[in-house]
Chain A
């Protein structure tokens, strides 16, 4: 009984989100689509969920008794809960809520006048946040699957939200078709995993995978590797990894720009959270780990190379950012492939990925806030539309340069700290090839980012182009993200600690990292 109420308390951020979304829908229905109060309800909900997250955070691990909704018989744990509320979950809850909130604020002005269904739009964003929170703490294959599907379906709707806009519809449909296929593949892979381990609970899978007697596991290529591949296909779709990335450019281009912003951060971070928890705890076995490290390394290399090369040819900034965020996922995977590393500041490989995500989120949301503002004013997302932006909107131009530099990894900005961390992990674990590939593809990234910079600073504005007015909400997001991008870059100490603690929660449930390290 006490277990249930304790579990519900630990579940409060998600409950708040669902209740908030319901209230929002109801108010929208009653107020007949008027905007009044919608922003207050939506942002209030997110803020409340954030407060709840921070309130739970110091409690740290809640895994000692098996997670939320665990099953006990006579006081003995027979089945761990489907959801854990540990430091790692809290971190990704925060990422999910902060990115949803910032995207909401940066899109307020944009969505006004473009759709009458603003209440539904907000509610779907809150549902997305709920789904991402569930992914952050999912500790059971069933919940992993449900959460991913939940996020997918809400994302499809958001992508195709502008019904009158053919591009938006097309984007939503493509995203949906592609997502359905990868989901099917992933479910197929999960059935293999269930077959081999006899359970859907991640901690129990971890035990089964590490057991030396399990013949199905020992026969690597028979069951477990195919299942890993299929799982990676499903997660790779969410994170937009090569070769599961083809949906991204079309969806990014067609989606309403605030949704593009959301797609590039939220689902990507949530997908990474699931991937990190699965691989670093459940699939961490001496026999298995070297194989998935090689696999992830390959994906990382392919993603960095293809993402950056394909971005070179883009003339639409949303497509360009789609490929850019594909490439950024590649850098995150470099950290994943460096499993076993303990680098500067006792940051494990997992910690470096977490730090990278933190730096990436603020940089990318800030960048998209600028893109949304330009798109809102000009209705144009071609790179050419940025000609002479320095004259028309100095704040946007300067802020975009800072964000681009952060993505390139120029110090002293957040992106540099992230790159420094993941490449440290790569060098430490002798993944020098990946590290060299990473920094050199980063130079390629500078080529296409600086094509936008060139347009903004070197080209004259078109004749008669008026200055671009930036709404207070957009400039709030831009300034906030600028502050975070610089703060993480100049004083990363606190953020390193946060990343380390988040990683520690997963390591506590994983196999002894040192033992695995010695194994390869």
Chain B
């Protein structure tokens, strides 16, 4: 019963215990304090988890395994948790943002306090559960659990259109996940295993790893349908164009802490699902649709940025910038599976370059998940701090300008976070985007013209992002003549700065020394690419006959 073998279970279910305790308390103040202090437990454990995570060891770590639902003689559903380099940073991010969100909420939530904090802790269980699950059934269960508390958080404590936003969020995500359920069933039916440990992955409990589904025909109808089931669920959760329309409503109407968690963690469930489930299970199908998916990534990047530029509402602008930023994640991940022509006849050096670029794509994508979590989390907090307790105004035209002079400390925090969102070098966002484009170009230049064009056009997204950050956030809001209406607005208090500080520190830290996190991510990236290649390299022979007629 050592800590190492139980730590993931503890982290995941401690919030549930906290929720039970909160339900038993009567008064608002103890409830708030209890929730905040309790959330420090999983936070401390998740920090320890990252510290103790061995970046040089292969495979999943801190695993725990127990049969859950026995289904006949040869297989069943298991309680199987474990972490790798993708999930460790995201678990820490989840715990950090939850603590900050609870802390922030304690200051602004005055109605139905007990329900709020109880739901928030339930939400945390759902998010953490997704990151630690190594069983498809468990993954699905946790993927769904988060839906319900978020629905209530938006619907009860949200803005004026909260009821509409809440049900829209709920239905969209539910529609995605029920299709995933059918895909899940077909995967299990195909391979007789619920395990997420597939292909070349290493786990001490599932050995040998379960087979990759549809191996005999990775792009057949059954495989493609199952792939699309999972993909659409993830694209809705991310969200990617054209499934993003729930996001601006949900983000704008959600209470500040809800937006922080929504943008900071819930969107990552979608992209994490891509690296944990979709890519290892369906590399072949993913490759065959890589260019259309790349097109969705491109559209999310450029369209998201352009729509963000058109917003006058601060919160809505940040919301649409999430569509843009999550587009980079999708682009980076797609780059790692895109088929290139020189891979077949190239020399060893070309092959090494391609491999390096594919890994950079995934590294960048995962880093972007983390970076977007801290950056957008900070930005939503900043929106909340000015709107909830100070001005009750989010319109740039009425809020600006000269806010920096009015509230200098607020301005300073905002400008760092805004520049990080823009992708300024030396801040976390830049490293991630650089790696994504490095990977995407590196792969595409080796012979995939459509993907090269999409990647090239996606660069436009950076320009638009810079434009809306500089124009709206920096110029209209912070600079310019001082808006007399807001003179006398109190600046950030000490506890508010303390909430923002860790996020700002991480933005700078990962900007100047990204190896700190990339060392954790990269080995897992490498093993993911290896796992995918066992499938991707197989169909090369099958592709050859189709390519040959053109040669003679």
On whether the two chains bind one another, the answer is: yes
Q: Would B155 and A454 count as touching, CB distance under 8 A?
A: yes
Tally of contact residues, A, Cβ under 8 A:
35
Tell me which residues across on chain B come within 8 A of A454, comparing CB atoms: 155, 163, 166-167
Known: A344-B71, A346-B72, A411-B140. Contact between A424 and B170, CB under 8 A? no
Question: Which one of B70, B151, B152, B174 lies within 8 Å of A493 (CB-CB)?
Answer: B70
List 11 additional A-B contacts (Cβ < 8 Å) besides A443-B171, A454-B163, A493-B69.
Answer: A343-B189, A411-B141, A423-B181, A423-B182, A423-B185, A424-B185, A435-B185, A436-B179, A443-B178, A454-B155, A457-B156
Known: A405-B148, A496-B71. Contact between A432 and B225, CB under 8 A? yes
> What is the CB-to-nearest-CB distance from A158 to chain B, in angstroms, rounded to a whole number?
36
Q: Would B72 and A435 count as touching, CB distance under 8 A?
A: no
A345 contacts the other chain (CB 8 A): yes
> What is the CB-to-nearest-CB distance from A383 to chain B, in angstroms, rounded to a whole number?
14
> What is the CB-to-nearest-CB distance from A349 to chain B, in angstroms, rounded to a whole number?
14
A binding-site residues for B, Cβ under 8 Å: 343-346, 390, 401, 405, 408-412, 419-420, 423-424, 427-428, 432, 435-436, 439-440, 442-443, 446-447, 450, 454, 457-458, 491-493, 496
Q: Would B174 and A443 count as touching, CB distance under 8 A?
A: yes
Q: Would A447 and B69 count as touching, CB distance under 8 A?
A: no
Q: Would A411 and B145 count as touching, CB distance under 8 A?
A: yes
B453 contacts the other chain (CB 8 A): no
Q: Would B225 and A409 count as touching, CB distance under 8 A?
A: no
Q: Would B163 and A439 count as touching, CB distance under 8 A?
A: no
Tell me which residues across on chain A come within 8 A of B71, comparing CB atoms: 344-346, 496
CA distance A409 to B144 in the complex (A): 10
Per-residue interface assignment for chain B, residues 527 to 541, with 1 indicating a CB less than 8 Å from any chain A CB and 0 otherwise: 000000000000000
Known: A412-B141, A450-B167, A454-B163. Contact between A428 and B178, CB under 8 A? no
Q: Would A443 and B225 count as touching, CB distance under 8 A?
A: no
Tell me which residues across on chain B come within 8 A of A492, comparing CB atoms: 69
Known: A450-B170, A496-B69. Contact between A458 and B155, CB under 8 A? yes
CA distance A231 to B151 in the complex (A): 44
Tell me which residues across on chain B come within 8 A of A457, comparing CB atoms: 152, 155-156
Q: Would A446 and B174 count as touching, CB distance under 8 A?
A: yes
5 residue pairs bridging A and B, Cβ less than 8 Å apart: A343-B189, A427-B185, A435-B185, A439-B182, A457-B156
CA distance A458 to B151 in the complex (A): 11
Q: Would B174 and A436 count as touching, CB distance under 8 A?
A: no
> What is the CB-to-nearest-CB distance from A363 to chain B, in angstroms, rounded to a whole number?
16
CA distance A427 to B181 in the complex (A): 11
Identify the 8 closest CB pairs spanning chains A and B, nearest first.
A345-B71, A439-B178, A411-B141, A344-B71, A346-B72, A427-B185, A443-B175, A424-B185
Tell me which residues across on chain B come within 8 A of A401, comparing CB atoms: 148
Q: Would B181 and A439 count as touching, CB distance under 8 A?
A: yes
Closest to A421 in B: B185
Q: Would A446 and B170 count as touching, CB distance under 8 A?
A: yes
Tell me which residues across on chain B come within 8 A of A419, comparing CB atoms: 181
Q: Would A420 and B181 count as touching, CB distance under 8 A?
A: yes
B binding-site residues for A, Cβ under 8 Å: 69-72, 76, 115, 140-141, 144-145, 147-148, 151-152, 155-156, 162-163, 166-167, 170-171, 174-175, 178-179, 181-182, 185-186, 188-189, 225
Question: Which one of B147, B148, B151, B178 lies within 8 Å of A442 (CB-CB)?
Answer: B178
Closest to B142 in A: A411
CA distance A428 to B222 in the complex (A): 11
CA distance A408 to B144 in the complex (A): 12
Tell me which residues across on chain B come within 8 A of A493, comparing CB atoms: 69-70
> What is the CB-to-nearest-CB distance from A406 to chain B, in angstroms, rounded to a whole number?
12
Q: Would A427 and B186 count as touching, CB distance under 8 A?
A: yes
Tell me which residues across on chain A come within 8 A of B144, comparing CB atoms: 410-411
CA distance A436 to B167 in the complex (A): 21
Q: Would A435 and B162 count as touching, CB distance under 8 A?
A: no
Tell me which residues across on chain A come within 8 A of B166, comparing CB atoms: 454, 458
Tell me which residues across on chain A come within 8 A of B115, comparing CB atoms: 390
> What is the CB-to-nearest-CB distance from B498 to chain A, in angstroms, rounded to a whole number?
33
CA distance A420 to B137 in the complex (A): 10
CA distance A432 to B228 in the complex (A): 14
Tell me which residues across on chain A come within 8 A of B162, comparing CB atoms: 458
Closest to B221 in A: A432
Q: Would B185 and A420 count as touching, CB distance under 8 A?
A: yes
Q: Would A491 and B69 count as touching, CB distance under 8 A?
A: yes
Tell me which residues across on chain B come within 8 A of A427, comparing CB atoms: 182, 185-186, 189
Tell me which residues across on chain B come within 8 A of A411, comparing CB atoms: 140-141, 144-145
CA distance A412 to B142 in the complex (A): 9
Tell me which residues across on chain B come within 8 A of A346, comparing CB atoms: 71-72
Closest to A419 in B: B181
Q: Would A440 and B152 count as touching, CB distance under 8 A?
A: no
CA distance A420 to B151 in the complex (A): 23
> What is the CB-to-nearest-CB distance from A191 to chain B, in angstroms, rounded to a whole number?
42
> What is the CB-to-nearest-CB distance from A125 to chain B, in angstroms, rounded to a whole number?
35
CA distance A345 to B71 in the complex (A): 4
Q: Would B181 and A458 count as touching, CB distance under 8 A?
A: no
> What is the CB-to-nearest-CB distance from A390 to chain B, in angstroms, rounded to a whole number?
8
Closest to A391 in B: B112
> What is the CB-to-nearest-CB distance from A331 to chain B, in angstroms, rounded to a whole number?
12
CA distance A70 to B457 in the complex (A): 80
Closest to B186 in A: A427
Known: A345-B71, A440-B178. Contact between A424 and B189, CB under 8 A? yes
> What is the CB-to-nearest-CB distance from A500 to chain B, in angstroms, rounded to a whole number?
9
Tell me which residues across on chain B come within 8 A of A408, comparing CB atoms: 174
> What is the CB-to-nearest-CB distance from A486 to chain B, in angstroms, rounded to a whole number?
13
> What is the CB-to-nearest-CB distance from A436 to chain B, in angstroms, rounded to a whole number?
7
> What is the CB-to-nearest-CB distance from B415 to chain A, in angstroms, rounded to a whole number?
38
CA distance A447 to B162 in the complex (A): 15
CA distance A274 to B148 in the complex (A): 37
CA distance A427 to B147 in the complex (A): 25
Tell me which residues across on chain A come within 8 A of B147, comparing CB atoms: 410
CA distance A420 to B163 in the complex (A): 29
Known: A410-B144, A424-B189. Contact between A436 and B182, CB under 8 A? yes
From B152, B163, B170, B182, name the one whose CB has the most chain A CB atoms within 10 angstroms. B182
CA distance A7 to B73 in the complex (A): 36
Closest to A410 in B: B144
From A419, A446, A454, A492, name the one whose CB has the most chain B CB atoms within 10 angstroms. A446
CA distance A477 to B178 in the complex (A): 30
> What is the CB-to-nearest-CB distance from A395 to chain B, in angstroms, rounded to a whole number?
12
Closest to A489 in B: B141
Tell me which residues across on chain A come within 8 A of B185, comparing CB atoms: 420, 423-424, 427-428, 435
Tell me which residues across on chain A come within 8 A of B167, comparing CB atoms: 447, 450, 454
CA distance A457 to B148 in the complex (A): 13
